[in-house]
Structure 1
Amino acid sequence: NASGMSFGSREQEVSTISRSLKGLAKELNIPIIALSQLNRGVETRQGNEGKRPQLADLRESGAIEQDADIVCFIHRPEYYRITEDEQGNSLIGVAEIIVAKHRNGPTGLAKMRFDSEYARFQNMDDFVVGQRYVERPSKMNKATNGDPSSSADALSGGDFTTPNKEPLPF
């Protein structure tokens, strides 16, 4: 390993890292997002339900499951060539955001639209076939009662300048 410390097994190393990240988050009172690979258990299970990741699929350590406040997974049935659910509904372009653990809140699943060309997620309700993106009104325009001519300029005080009214270098 890069630190030069000896941990014994890979599982012990991952456990130490997991505990250290948890301690750092508490000490600094900040959220830390850590990524983990899944073990091969997902590959051996059958069907959409079987392919959906579970806490036990976290690779190399139960410590990640134990230390984390929130564990989320992204599941795309289409990746496993599963194109329909049990009711015959299309799963093409569908992703599931799975909250498998939430220490202080509910767990569950949210379905999203996944645009693989751009690796972009959209709310299912906002998805329109053939539309590449969803237009939303600017929140800046709300502050100026929808008058687009005054949105950015009104909020920034006009031209893009420094607090000393000097032009920005770009």
Structure 2
Amino acid sequence: MMIRPLQPGDSFETLTALLHAAYASLAAQGWNFTAVDQSVDVTRERLAGAQGFVAELDGRIVGTVAVRGPKPAGEAYIADPPPPLYTTPGTAILAQLAVHPDCRGLGLGERLMDAAEAWALGQGFAQLALDTAEPAAALRRRYERRGYVTVGAVQWQGKTYASVLMSKRLAA
């Protein structure tokens, strides 16, 4: 099992299929996360300007995460204006954390988050921010165990749920 940076030869089709598989259980609960059914073009767009990481097991990509610096205030975040947290200088944004259902329980999600947090710290960011569905209590608890705290809320256009904004201070 290896965590590595996304490479130019990695397939956006493979990443998109992984996201669909990983987020299917959330879709079954009625939560239409973008990654549930995003197109390959949206995967590519969400990774533009970000540092992607993948988890590889026996030569197969089975996990992914993306991390990037703050969005410019005028740039859309998917289809919406970004919340102020996502435009705050010194803030990195974590997105598209996914582990294939066949590989859950192996610690890949934690290792992907470790890689994203280490990258953000190494780039000089003071905090890492993310959002998740407010009703997704298990996801929120996972982030809380890693030191993330709820700092706000947002209602993304077209989503069937309200989201919480969470952040974690990064320590050198």
Alignment TM class, shorter chain as reference:
under 0.3
TM-score computed with the length of structure 2 as normaliser = 0.27
Determine which structure has greater relative contact order: mean sequence separation of CA pairs < 8 Å that are 6+ residues apart, divided by chain length: 2
Which has a greater percent of strand? 2
TM-score computed with the length of structure 1 as normaliser = 0.28
